[in-house]
């Protein structure tokens, strides 16, 4: 720190501070907070850094080894995050996420990493080093898998039940890319699904099919907006993260743009002036404005 902090001060840079000291990596929440507070005091009191210049990484250690010493790693990291936010006000937190699932099958890793990220965010995580394409919103993870991941994260073993063994068993026959075969949906069910899942593939063909039976405004009001309503509910309950909401928003915008030429044009009216509706560019509220 004594070499890094002067450079950070000179170049107005932020610092990622890992909870490691002379004794090694901190594994317990208590040690993580103790080290973070030492770094915090040193940075502010001796080197004049601001709290917002610091990103504390309380270390993600695996819970996938089966070793007794590793069983509490995730729970201790989550508790460490919560306490660091209290002990080091104004600072930020960061985690390299995927270490938690080291050694598991890719499909199992994606599920465990996603559930772990959700728990960390609830505890105060501000940023993460993660492959965004391998994170799933909670609603897409089977409930049994989600509960098993939580049991593993919080080490809820009991007689005759080991969540690590259970999680491995759940993914024994699941390949890296394979997903459960999608059920056949009606057109009316598929359109909202496409919005919810942010699925653009074949969207225009489905819209053409819908236009054979419905008007453009009916498709938007009855099916596409129904999907966005579900997206809002999932986001509000914490089951869908913002990147997936924005993905859904982009599909909605694409669909509306495609349907726009098919909307009825008002004739014979007179202009009563211009109304301007403004939102932040790129925000999900752009959808309502554009509609």
Identify the CATH number of the domain in which residue 191 sits.
1.10.1240.10
**191 and 79 inside one domain:** no
Write out the E strands in 7-70: 15-18, 20-21, 24-25, 54-57
* pLDDT in the model for residue 59: 95
Structure token pair of residue 71: 């069983």
The beta strands (E) that lie in 19-102 are given as 20-21, 24-25, 54-57, 92-96
Tell me, yes or no, whether 154 and 18 share the same domain: yes
- 130 and 253 assigned to the same domain: no
Q: 170, 202, 230: which is the final residue of a domain?
A: 170
Does 157 map to a domain?
yes
42 and 165 belong to one structural domain: yes
List residues bridging with 127 in a β-sheet.
Answer: 94
Q: Do 235 and 113 reside in the same domain of the chain?
A: no
Is residue 196 located within the same domain as residue 142? Answer: no
Choose the final residue of a domain: 170, 204, 220: 170
Please indicate, yes or no, if residue 175 is contained in any of the structural domains. Answer: no
In a domain, 180, yes or no: no
| Cα separation, 280 vs 73, whole angstroms | 40
Determine the pLDDT at residue 265.
76
Helix (H) or strand (E) holding 129: strand 127-129
92 token code pair? 């930020």
The model's pTM: 0.74
Please report, in angstroms and rounded to a whole number, the separation of the first and last CA atoms in the chain: 53
Shared domain check, 108 and 32: yes
- Identify whether the C-beta of residue 9 lies closer than 8 Å to the C-beta of residue 50: no
The pLDDT assigned to 179 comes to 46
Q: How many domains does the chain have?
A: 2
With CA atoms as reference, report the closest residue to 131 among 114, 156, 151: 114
Angle between helices 187-197 and 242-259 (to 10 degrees): 130
- Looking at 111, 145, 170, the residue that finishes a domain is 170
pLDDT at position 282, please?
60
Average pLDDT per run of 10 along the chain, which is 291 residues long? 91 96 95 98 96 97 91 97 97 95 92 96 95 89 96 96 93 58 80 92 94 94 94 85 80 93 77 82 62 47
Q: Considering the domain boundaries, does residue 238 fall inside one?
A: yes
Q: Are residues 157 and 209 in the same domain?
A: no
Please name the residues in contact with 202: beta carbons below 8 A apart, sequence gap of 6 or more. none
CB 222 within 8 Å of CB 229: no
Asked whether residue 282 is assigned to any structural domain, the reply reads: yes
Q: How far, in Å, CA of 256 to CA of 126, rounded?
A: 34
If asked whether residues 142 and 241 sit together in one domain, one would say: no
pLDDT of residue 180: 47
Q: Are residues 166 and 198 in the same domain?
A: no
The radius of gyration of the chain from alpha carbons, rounded to an integer in Å, stands at 24
Backbone phi, psi, residue 55, to 5° = -120, 115
| Residues 166, 97 share a domain | yes
Written as six digits, the tokens of 229 are: 């309503």
Residue 178 lies in a domain: no
Domain containing residue 41: 4-170
């Amino acid at each position: 720190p004594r070499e890094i902090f002067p450079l950070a001060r000179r170049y107005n840079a932020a610092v990622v501070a890992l909870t490691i000291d002379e004794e090694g990596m901190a594994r317990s929440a208590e040690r993580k907070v103790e080290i973070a507070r030492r770094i915090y005091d040193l940075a502010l009191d001796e080197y004049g850094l601001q709290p917002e210049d610091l990103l504390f990484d309380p270390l993600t250690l695996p819970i996938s080894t089966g070793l007794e010493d590793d069983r509490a790693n995730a729970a201790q990291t989550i508790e460490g995050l919560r306490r660091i936010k209290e002990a080091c006000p104004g600072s930020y937190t960061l985690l390299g996420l995927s270490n938690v699932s080291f050694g598991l099958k890719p499909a199992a890793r994606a599920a465990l990493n996603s559930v772990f990220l959700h728990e960390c965010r609830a505890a105060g995580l501000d940023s993460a080093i993660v492959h965004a394409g391998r994170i799933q919103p909670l609603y897409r993870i089977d409930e049994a898998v989600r509960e098993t991941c939580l049991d593993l994260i919080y080490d809820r073993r009991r007689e005759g039940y080991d969540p690590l063994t259970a999680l491995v068993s759940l993914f024994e026959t699941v390949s890296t890319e394979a997903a459960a075969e999608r059920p056949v949906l009606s057109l009316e069910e598929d359109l909202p699904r496409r919005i919810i899942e942010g699925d653009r593939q074949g969207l225009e063909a489905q819209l053409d099919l819908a236009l054979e039976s419905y008007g453009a405004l009916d498709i938007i009001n009855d099916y596409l907006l129904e999907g966005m309503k579900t997206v809002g509910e999932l986001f509000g309950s914490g089951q869908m993260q913002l990147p997936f909401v924005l993905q859904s928003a982009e599909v909605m915008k694409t669909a509306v743009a495609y349907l726009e030429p098919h909307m009825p044009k008002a004739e014979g009216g007179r202009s009563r002036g211009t109304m301007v509706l403004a939102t932040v560019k790129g925000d999900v509220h752009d959808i309502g404005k554009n509609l």
